[in-house]
A and B are shown apart, each in its own frame.
Chain A
Amino acid sequence: MKKKMENWPVLFFLYKKMLKNRVKKALHKPVTYLYMVFVIAYMVLIFGSFRTIFASMDGGESASTLTALLTVFTFFMIPANLISYCKRKGLIFRQSDIHFLFPAPVGPKSILLYAHVKTVMMELILNLVLTVGGVLWFHMPVWKMLAYLLISCVVDNIMEASMMVLCYGNEKLGPKQMGMLRLFLYAVLGVFVLIGVMLYVREGAGFGVVASYLHSPTIQMVPVIGWYIAMLHLLFLGPTVWNVAGTALYFVTVLILFVLAVRMRCVGAYYEDAIKFADDYEEARQRGKKGEVAVVGWKKKYKKASVTYKGSYAKALFYRQYLEYKKNRFFIFGFYTLVCLIIGIGLAVIAYRGQLGEMAPFAILGVMAYLTFIFAGYSGKWGKELTRPYTFLIPDRAFHKLWYATLMEHIRALADGCLITLPTALVLGIPFLQTVLIIAVYICLQACKLYAEVMLEALLGNILGSVGKQFARMFFEGLVIAFGIAGAAVGTFLVSLEVGLAALIIIMALLTAVMMVIASLNFKRMESVA
């Protein structure tokens, strides 16, 4: 035990230095202060709105609601973590850990705990907020909330860390036994679902059923997770036979798991899996940075395909992208296409029930604007083009390069626009011209979003960070849409809807073209203006 404790100063050194340097670096960026203002304002708003929601509750009711909330929180946090530990996943080791930490004379179990501590920070913050919230929103006695904080941050973390060490660090159980453990955990989750289904069948839907589910004694008897929930019930709602038994079982389990984890031999056989996960994580991180959908461990498979290049210079960028998309399993279509299809069908169903009437074109346009404004949508391949030196070496104008690097995105927008519009247009028989104009509006909206993004990339580089750029993008996009809507309103009221839509398209196209010109700076040289 003493030897294991000797490892902690070095791991503490790592945390301390990394945290200090990160904070120092962040404080040098003005955008950090902007984010801080946002976060504080958000916290104040949340605090105020929650207090209003819970203000009317009396003592007993609020204790019950808090227990139910913490039970839901438990469902989200614990089972997913345990299952990922069984798969020897979930702990994030970076390439630098593999380089410096794994070969060092630091105990493999300490290294596991080092990675674990990195993952519990968010949990600790959430628990702190819940503790403060428990006192201020739910009027719980301070001692109860402090006891909760102690148990959730110390006891529960000992339990989770012990489980993590036993699952990740074990060198005796083979893949079959670990698979069985995973199955057991899935079975535990299955029991929770089953109890819910039984209650639903017996009592029907409603808030009462949710409450009786979350406070059900059966839930509190489910091993480990249920026993933790029993402890929450004992603390906040007072003793019952079930929650006292569950709490006792919980503490005994924590003690047994802790002793087992301390005594278990571990020489670092998990390093190999950790390296694999670190590689996958790094790859996903890099892809995520480029704005792609990145799932850890997910490898993209490509089909065989070919294209005939019908053009030279910058046009080659388009044909190369076309070839890449042809090699994709679903060509240019992805998850977002599915979202558009579902929305299109949903709108058609509402229209079929007669709930849209003459407002249908406006409803479609509203949904389109919302989708464009809020959803990230596709990341597209233009971002990747900017990371490749040959893009800049192609002997063509920057504007051409921008156009051909983003052309495929307009084709995707056309496909999505059709999916959103056509079902409702067919159901309600919207005139052909109006349908075409609505689809064209969607293409303009998407183009506006795209070029606002490329323009900000050219102007700001990494100054605002991805979240800051997202806000800036929304600002410019909103500005263009606002001008467009003003034009559309004038056109519609003075002449007709078709003219209004045409005005919207023209104004948006013109403003987007201005953004395009600025955005083309990105394709001039391999660095942003900023």
Chain B
Amino acid sequence: MLEIKGLTKVYGKYKAADEVSFTVQNGEIGILLGPNGAGKSTVIKSIAGLLRYQGNIYIKGKDARSMEAKKVFAYVPEIPAMYEALTVREHIDFIVHAYHLQVSEEEIKELLERFELWDKQDKLGNELSKGMMQKVSICCALIIRPDVIMLDEPMVGLDPAAIKQLKQVILELKAAGVTVLISTHMLEMVKELWDIMFVMDKGHIIASYQKSCFSMSQKQRAAKKAKSPERMKRNEKENGKLAGAVLPL
């Protein structure tokens, strides 16, 4: 389970995240949706422990900054950054060491083959294309076998086959009871995945939708509303008050 309680992040006088609170349960796929500059990345980086913040973040009930929480948490950043002098395989080996994992050779092979990296495992970090880097980043996150995984714009830069594979993996993670949080501004990419959706704007969660509370037609309407630019604009004007199917946070 991933719990965010009263997360506030201030840069100088600017509040990038203001009292943000939400929860994603075990086996649920949460979507953090919003336009550019809404504060999604700030929330994501805070959860990953990369920023100082006020409020509380719990991963499986443990403070996100504790070692116990970090051991069960995986993060795929929006822009992958490889160690230039490490090969694909050495990145995986590093993660295995860093998280003190017991992983068999077969598991590594299966994962790398799944993302078409098996034949590229000896390539150095600075020899990879952006899409390949993203695949390595995803493999490094999956090898952890996390209880909570967070993916920031994970489909960007991936080819259609890899996107399909990633979606499949996410559904498998959900089935295994893993908590998944995906940050994106493209609803189409995650429309078949989500269980709960949080819409962010100007540092606030302005709406949240629970898939299980909707009938199929409502889901489609809500998804349409959430992604329509007019709707987003109107939401800004209404300062966080979204008419229609809004659930209390």
Contacts and interface: CB of A to CB of B under 8 A. Distances in A.
A18 B85 contact: yes
B81 A268 contact: no
B87 A21 contact: yes
Contacts of B140: 100
Given A14-B94, A17-B94, A105-B98, A100 B50 contact: no
B65 A9 contact: no
Interface in A1-39: 3, 6, 9-10, 13-14, 17-19, 21-22, 25
A269 B95 CA distance: 22
B180 to A, nearest CB: 16
Interface stretch (B67-75, B220-228, B232-240): B67-75
A268 B65 contact: yes
A103 B49 contact: yes
B125 interface: yes
A103 B48 contact: yes
A373 interface: no
A18 B51 contact: no
Interface in B160-207: none
A109 B217 CA distance: 52
A99 B81 contact: yes
A272 B49 CA distance: 9
Contact of B95 (A22, A100, A271, A272): A100
B93 interface: yes
B98 A96 contact: no
Nearest to A101: B98
Contacts of A98: 50, 81
Nearest to B93: A13
Interface residues of A, number: 31
Contacts of A271: 49-51
Contacts of A252: none
Nearest to A273: B52
Contact of B97 (A9, A18, A95, A99): A9
B49 to A, nearest CB: 6
B81 A103 contact: no
Contacts of A272: 50-52
Interface in B80-101: 80-87, 90-91, 93-95, 97-100
Contacts of B67: 3, 105, 107
Contacts, number: 87
Interface residues of B, number: 36
Contacts of B71: 105
Contact of A104 (B82, B84, B98, B137): B98
B27 interface: no
A96 B99 contact: no
A103 B52 CA distance: 14
B95 A96 contact: no
B154 interface: no
Contact of B49 (A9, A22, A102): A102
A103 B125 CA distance: 19
A105 B51 contact: no
Contact of B125 (A96, A106, A275): A96
Given A17-B85, A17-B86, A268-B49, A99 B65 contact: no
A381 interface: no
Contacts of B94: 10, 13-14, 17, 100
A306 B42 CA distance: 37
Nearest to A99: B81
B124 A21 contact: yes
Given A103-B75, A267-B65, A14 B83 contact: yes
Nearest to B46: A272
Contacts of B90: 17, 21
A94 interface: yes
B30 interface: no
Given A96-B82, A99-B80, A103-B73, A269 B48 contact: no
Contact of B83 (A18, A103, A105, A267): A18
3 residue pairs, one from A and one from B, having the closest CB atoms: A95-B81, A105-B70, A10-B97
26 contacts: A13-B94, A13-B97, A14-B83, A14-B94, A17-B85, A18-B86, A21-B90, A25-B85, A94-B83, A96-B81, A96-B83, A96-B125, A99-B137, A100-B91, A100-B94, A100-B95, A100-B140, A103-B50, A103-B70, A104-B70, A104-B99, A105-B67, A105-B100, A107-B67, A271-B51, A272-B51
